[in-house]
A and B are shown apart, each in its own frame.
Chain A
Amino acid sequence: MGEVTEGDNGKVNGGGGGGGGGEGEVRVLVVDDSAVDRRIVEGLLKRSGTMFEVIAVDSGKKAMEILGLNEGKAESPTVNDKKIDIILTDYCMPEMTGYDLLKAVKEQSCPKSIPVVIMSSENEPQRINRCRAIGADDFILKPLQTKDVQKLRSYATSMALASKAGTKRKMPLDLMASSWAAFWLDSARRFSFYCVIFLCWCALILYERSLNGNL
């Protein structure tokens, strides 16, 4: 169970079409003990556009090595002198779970911690809340599909934009626009959700008062 397949670890694949190390490329560290799932996630990321460079490992321990988080190191996480932009990790893994990895990443002393997205086959609200409570940036249900990676793409783009602000790199305008659009859409959805909750609460208060008034 969770056996290491040596040939797969730390495999780096350039994004499709754009070439390795191209401008605007987002480096994704994929952590999953299932070779099948690693390959599928890698395929999804490569197919989604030119901006993903994928590093795939089969354990949390190897992810920690890649991120330079072993033995209390607080270096900026790099592979081949380039920073990891986003971590996409499975939740259920032997020895070190995705939750343990998430915790370790969020506790690191670097000025800006890397976004961590959790993948899981189980839709358990407790698990989701537990991960979000310690800083998981998103939670995706397996099996992963194209739409999940598109969501990740706009999320990772905004993170990449934020981290690369002030450098000489330029992001294509359409990618910037789509990442801001995703951000505002998400904010609008959350705002309307909270408005509905507030209105329901007001309605309840008014109803209670009208009942008391009638007694």
Chain B
Amino acid sequence: MAPTALQEKLNGLVNSMFAEGLLDEQFQQLQMLQDGSNPGFVAEVVTLFCEDSERILAELTKLMDQAVVDYSKVDAYVHQLKGSSSSVGAQNVKLACIQFRQFCEDNNKEGCMRALNVVKHEYYHLRSKFETMLHLENRIQAYETKQQS
């Protein structure tokens, strides 16, 4: 595929992510930080976010599987995930975390289980879009590198 077509596809994907509420204006802040001197910034931050999120989701799953749930630990992890999703502009994940924290405050196990599933659903949906986005970016950069050499 020609690079302009790739770029259009990438722009279309990112715009649809904004339109669906997957991303908010904080992601635009990150995009503005990417330039010639820092070409992989968004990819780096997105990768860090995904690694961090999966670590947290694994911990949350373990905690929620316990017979007696330690809600303060659960809340601490959800707070972390809310923070990083907010910093990256992952709007739906952030909103799901806010709901989750509410159930933690109420010590509502069933609510927390449902909320964890919502957070997972939103995260994995976002991750698959991020994967496509990074794949397109890599293809565009590979083409540009080839043109320069």
Contacts and interface: CB of A to CB of B under 8 A. Distances in A.
A143 interface: yes
A34 B77 contact: no
Given A142-B83, A145-B29, A36 B88 contact: yes
B48 A1 contact: no
B124 interface: no
Given A16-B37, A43-B38, A145-B29, A34 B79 contact: no
Nearest to A147: B29
B142 interface: no
B82 A39 contact: no
Interface string A131-142: 000000000001
B95 interface: no
Interface residues of B, number: 29
Given A17-B37, A47-B38, A39 B48 contact: yes
Interface string A31-73: 0001111011001101100000000000000000000000000
Contacts of B49: 36
Contact of A44 (B33, B48, B84): B33
B86 A143 contact: yes
Q: What DSSP secondary structure best describes chain B's contact surface? A: helix
B86 A1 contact: no
Interface string B70-89: 00010011011011101111
B26 interface: yes
Contact of B84 (A1, A17, A37): A37
A1 B83 contact: no
Interface residues of A, number: 21
Nearest to A17: B37
A142 B86 contact: yes
A39 B80 contact: no
Nearest to A143: B87
B107 to A, nearest CB: 19
Given A36-B88, A46-B38, A121 B45 contact: no
A47 B34 CA distance: 9
A79 interface: no
B133 interface: no
Contacts of B48: 35-36, 39
A87 B48 CA distance: 23
14 contacts: A1-B80, A17-B37, A34-B84, A36-B48, A36-B88, A37-B83, A37-B87, A39-B44, A40-B30, A40-B45, A46-B38, A92-B83, A143-B86, A145-B26
Given A36-B84, A145-B26, 15 more contacts: A1-B59, A16-B37, A34-B84, A36-B45, A36-B87, A37-B84, A40-B30, A40-B33, A46-B38, A121-B82, A143-B26, A143-B87, A143-B89, A146-B29, A146-B32
